Structure formats: C-alpha cells, structure tokens
A = this chain, B = another copy of it.
Amino acid sequence: MSRKYDAPAGLPPLKDLTIDNITANVHAINSQCRDPRTKYLFERLIVHLHDFARETHLNTSEWETALGYLVDVGKISTDVRHEFILLSDVLGLSLLVDSIDHPKPPGATEGTILGPFHTEDANTIEPGGLISHDPHGEALFAVCSIKDTQGRPIPAVSVDVWETDSKGFYDVQYAGRETADGRAVLTSDWDGMIYFKGIVPVPYPIPHDGPVGKLLSVLNRHPYRPSHIHFMFKKEGFDRLITALYLRGDPFESSDAVFGVKESLIIDLKRVGDVPGLAERHSISSDTRLLQYDFVLITEEETRALRNKAQTEAAR
C-alpha cells in the first residue's frame, strides 16, 4: 500500500454518489481511458444503462434477476453455442448493427444477420459439389452469380454457405458432431458463378431450451425462423457480405424470431428443368429444385463512403 490514490488529479472526489450525480461521476473516472473510441462507447453505455435504471425505477430484485440471467447466458455458451449472439438476435440488435456497419446502396444485395451457427471449419468444395449429406432432404441445386455494382462478374470470391438438415438442425447442434456438414466453402469461377448441391431449407426454431428460449416464452413470442440458406462472401477490396435467402410462402416469412427477412432476399425455387441444358451440363435430374440468385457486392471503398455519409448526417 505504498501508492497513494487520492481522486485522480483533476477528478472530483468519488463520494456521496446519488441517483442524480452518479452518472457524471462515472464519466469522470472513466475519462482516464486513453483510447478515445473506447472512452466514447463507455460514456454512451453508462448514459443508457443509468437512464434505463432511473426511468424504470429498476428495483433490486429485477437487477438480481437480470444479472442472474446474464450469468445463465454465459454459462450455456460454448464454441458452438453462441447464446449471447442469439440474445442479440432476438432483441433486434444483430440486424441493427449489420445495417449500421454494412450499409448498402440501391442495387446491392442486402445483408442480414449472421446468426449463431457459422463455423470456420467447413470443407472447401469444388463447383457443383455437395454441401449437405442428409439423405432425407429434398435435393436442391444452386446457381448464383456474383457481380459488382457495375454489373461485372467477380471471380475468386470465397463463399461460405450453411443450412440446417431436413430436421431443422445445424450440424453443430448434434452432440456427436465429428465433421462439418450442411456447410461448405466455395470459390466463384472466372465468370463470377458458384454452383452447389444442397437441400431445400426448412423452417426451424432457434435453440430454445436455454435462457433465450425462456426469454421468448416470457415475451410470448415463438422461436421460429423461416426456411433459409446462409451466405457469406469474402474477397479483398469488397465489403464482407453476410446474407441469407428465404423461401417465399414460408409460414414464418412475416414473423422471423430474429428479424432477418428482407423482401429482396425472398426467392421462388424453380426446377432445374426450367433452364434449358442445365440438367445435362451438371448431370442432375431436371426435377431437382433450383435456387437462382444474382448477388451484388459492394467495394470496401463504397462501404466507407456510405458509412461516412451516415455519420455525417447523424452528426448534424
């Protein structure tokens, strides 16, 4: 105890803090933070946290319930179960942060939430390869183009694709998981095209046997997501696009538990036979369901310009 810690120089003595002065005093002590962005984030966090408690007259029992709930969310989390992401999803925060951080100009493919089931261990497959080995799924063939906002094909884009099996579960939701399935990494060819074989996606409930399910139940909300396939596009110079395609007419199309559906991402499946020559070229049955979509990526430069514009407008 050789060091003497009075109130740090220039700061008020932290004493006799009340409902009315606690916020300013927490700001004062946090103002010692050396990183301006972190300092700003905590300033706004403290304002909202304290205002929330003041406005609602939050009581000790509610505070205890909230902290106990957060412990539970942390405890159930693992490398393959991301309960805090799920919590962020059902509170609409994930969709919001994606919208803020990845603004899209008209014509570009809209983004949507990442969700808690992306992994980094998916197998890299060849064009036309299989991403799902579930024998009970209805076969699907996907033919997608990837272009820039000028309409030019983008080759060599790394594309992560992931979907559930026919029962509505991702591979990581099975206890005995040994290898990745229902997911793969593809690379777009010189014409900016990707092809893969998967299964027709099905609606499914988000994991609702844990704290997030309990919350949805308290809020009297259902846990279902409409049928969809996730996509993530990565290529140097382009803004990482995280999105998903949804099937039109799904029972949960208008009530996605995690707010991810956008009209521009809803598709109608066709049959491979609807496109002349496609079945023959890829040696697949013409009955196979066909997913076609034209993705449009924007450059990092375009994203930066849009972000700056939004921040300038917000600052006004």
Interface residues of A (CB under 8 A from B): 1, 3-8, 11, 13-19, 22-23, 25-26, 29-30, 32-35, 38, 40-42, 44-46, 48-60, 62-63, 67-68, 70-75, 77, 82, 84-85, 88, 91-102, 202-203, 218-222, 224, 251-256, 259, 261-263, 307, 310-311, 314
In the bound complex, do residue B57 and residue A310 qualify as a contact, i.e. CB atoms below 8 Å apart? yes
> Could you tell me the distance in whole angstroms from the C-beta of A38 to the nearest C-beta in chain B?
6
Majority DSSP secondary structure for residues of A touching B: helix
Some 21 contacts from A to B, beta carbons below 8 A apart, are: A3-B251, A5-B222, A5-B224, A5-B252, A6-B251, A7-B254, A13-B254, A14-B254, A14-B256, A14-B261, A15-B262, A16-B261, A16-B263, A26-B92, A32-B219, A33-B220, A34-B220, A46-B92, A53-B100, A54-B314, A75-B75
Q: Report the copy number of this chain in the oligomer.
A: 2
11 additional contacts (CB under 8 A) given A14-B259, A70-B84: A1-B202, A1-B251, A3-B251, A13-B255, A15-B253, A17-B259, A25-B92, A32-B221, A38-B219, A48-B52, A58-B101
Contacts of A34 in B (CB 8 A): 220
In the bound complex, do residue B57 and residue A100 qualify as a contact, i.e. CB atoms below 8 Å apart? yes
CA of A136 to CA of B218 in the docked complex: distance in angstroms?
51
Contacts of A310 in B (CB 8 A): 57
